[in-house]
Chain A
Amino acid sequence: MEIWNRHFECMDRKGIKNVQSERLRETVEKVYFNVPYYRNRMQEAGLGPESIQTIDDIAKLPFTTKRDLRDNYPFGLFAVPMSEIVRVHASSGTTGKPTVVGYTRNDISTWSEVMARTLTSAGATRNDFIQVAYGYGLFTGGLGLHYGGEKIGASVIPISGGNTQRQIQLMHDFGSTVLACTPSYALFLAEAIQESGIKRDELKLRVGVFGAEPWTENMRREIEDKLSIKAIDIYGLSEVIGPGVASECPVQEGLHINEDHFYPEIIDPETLHVLPEGSTGELVFTTLTKEGLPLIRYRTRDLTKLTYDKCKCSRTMVRMEKCLGRSDDMLIIRGVNLFPSQVESVLLEMSEIKPHYLLIVDRVNNLDTLELKVEVDEAFFQDKISQLEMLRQKLQNNLENALGLGIKVTLVEPKIIERSEGKSKHVIDKRKF
């Protein structure tokens, strides 16, 4: 089993702690002097840079949330002048404004490093052909895998997402050995390959690197079975860096977090107290080496637990369990983050529609589907089919523009959507994780 960076990935716990303490001190100093937002928050808490000496002091620091990123949109939390930023990525936010992340040249290099670890631990080498079917663009998936693939010296096929027939053709003709995409797309692709009539032994595929959305052990078995490959789970979020935050080794007993770069904590999402090892709670990350957008105790809202036991693969980096739940109402649809409040803000802008709606998420033929049922406002209702169709189409277009996701809009009769005391139930997620 190859290990990309044995020095860090197999460092003893004491050594890791020393590295983390040193890097946390540097990070705290950096944000205190360069990001007014963090300086204010620390001063409010009576903290200065000298208050943080070891990694154990981290619990003194305030949390950062997605809302803080939004309030400082677009570049307010960047810790370097824009002249140092060489790349920005963005993901969808809660009010239509995206969450923007910036990378310095060193950040891109760190990202390539952690992705090189990820791909190596999945078993990829310079002799592999990596088909990157994650989306390229503002989404971090495509370019994250791309740079990691180049770093290990593999041949990267930057095919991006979608266009299934071409995916299959290139996989066959180029002899792709590694597939990187969302797990649901992997399943979709598996079935398309079966239908295409191409025989399995004509393909050289042997491993898949899948993430960006929650998936179950059942899905893993299905993918491994249908594609005859090993399916490796990877984890990341753009705020922290993108893919490369954590990934499975061949032992597949949890995902190793690259904790020399990203320090994890598990907290109780209600009390915000740090929970002891082995407890399930919300995952929180502090970046230890990032320059462009360092984050202090960023609340991911993902629920998981950590184990510090040494892994059979000989890596010592802490492992997190597969993430399956969230501590907020965010949905992940085909790898895209979606908050129900985003839908609501689109509806509120349209006077013809009442903001009574129901989002139905399902998985049909292994692809997530999104349907919105919405009530027509009686004041607008007229007896022209064309007008209602136009309204439906307009709403569908507005939503697709705002969410970056395909959605099916259905107009329904009033009072169909259940009202409940306080917060009404707006989402039905039929997918089984």
Chain B
Amino acid sequence: MIIHQLSIFLENKSGRLTEVLEVLGEENIRITALSVADTTEFGLLRLIVSDPEKAREILKKQNFTVNLTEVISVMAPNEAKYYAKILKILSDLDISVEYTYAFSVGAKSIIILRCSNTEDAIKALKSHEMELMKASDLYKI
């Protein structure tokens, strides 16, 4: 249930994102989801890819600062109320969501969540019969 997301430190310089994607593209790494968080001076690129370990090695060799971060993923109908429900389950248990992003596949949303406590979050969502995605399934998309 734990998904390994790539987190990459990037300076806010034009062309840096392109370089990351080119490096991964050359090694046939597929990207399931991508999100960028930025400040005025630097950004964090977050990626769900087909082979996180391999992608990390490739980027490391190219001198990127990269880490694997544990996140979870929930599939739900792509309506706001389901997203709200998921967040409420977590906040009711004082599990904070550090960040989240989502994308749609047909009528379904795939939601990525980074929580203060991953194990507790998984338990809580399972007990509310939420559909947690397996890492292997997510990487395949």
Contacts and interface: CB of A to CB of B under 8 A. Distances in A.
Given A383-B67, A384-B98, A389 B44 contact: no
Interface in A374-401: 376, 378, 381-385, 388-389
Contact of A381 (B9, B37, B41, B46): B9
A415 interface: yes
Contacts of B16: 413
A412 interface: yes
B22 to A, nearest CB: 16
Nearest to A415: B63
A381 B39 contact: no
Nearest to B16: A413
A261 B83 CA distance: 80
Contacts of A389: 39
B69 interface: yes
Chain B contact residues, majority secondary structure: strand
Contacts of B11: 412-413, 416
B65 A381 contact: yes
Contacts of A383: 5, 7, 44, 46, 67, 69, 114
A385 B39 contact: yes
Nearest to A408: B41
Interface in B71-121: 98, 114
A188 B10 CA distance: 35
Contacts of B46: 383
A414 interface: yes
B41 to A, nearest CB: 5
A345 interface: no
A91 interface: no
A388 B16 CA distance: 19
A210 B26 CA distance: 60
A370 B11 CA distance: 19
A388 B46 CA distance: 15
A367 interface: no
B62 to A, nearest CB: 10
A411 interface: yes
B67 A381 contact: yes
Contacts of B98: 384
Contacts of A416: 11
B9 A410 contact: no
Contacts of A414: 63-65
A251 B114 CA distance: 71
B88 to A, nearest CB: 23
B26 to A, nearest CB: 19
Interface string A119-160: 000000000000000000000000000000000000000000
A414 B67 CA distance: 13
Interface in B46-77: 46, 63-67, 69
Contacts of A384: 98
Contacts of B63: 413-415
Nearest to A381: B65
A141 B64 CA distance: 47
A412 B12 CA distance: 9
Nearest to B13: A413
A346 to B, nearest CB: 20
Given A382-B69, A383-B67, A413 B9 contact: yes
Nearest to B6: A383
B38 to A, nearest CB: 8
Contact of B67 (A382, A385, A410): A382
A382 B42 contact: no
Contacts of B64: 413-414
A410 B65 contact: no
Q: Which of B37, B42, B46, B69 neighbours the largest number of chain A CB atoms within 10 Å of its CB?
A: B42
Interface string A32-65: 0000000000000000000000000000000000
A421 B88 CA distance: 57
Contacts of A381: 7, 9, 65, 67
A411 B41 contact: yes
A412 B13 CA distance: 10
25 contacts: A376-B9, A378-B66, A381-B9, A381-B65, A382-B7, A383-B5, A383-B7, A383-B46, A383-B67, A383-B69, A385-B37, A385-B39, A385-B44, A388-B9, A388-B42, A410-B41, A410-B42, A411-B9, A411-B41, A412-B42, A413-B10, A413-B16, A413-B63, A413-B64, A414-B64
Given A381-B7, A385-B39, 14 more contacts: A378-B66, A378-B67, A381-B9, A381-B67, A382-B7, A383-B7, A383-B44, A383-B46, A384-B98, A389-B39, A411-B42, A413-B9, A413-B64, A416-B11
What 8 A-B pairs have minimum CB-CB distances, sorted nearest first?
A: A383-B7, A415-B63, A383-B69, A381-B65, A378-B65, A383-B44, A410-B41, A413-B11
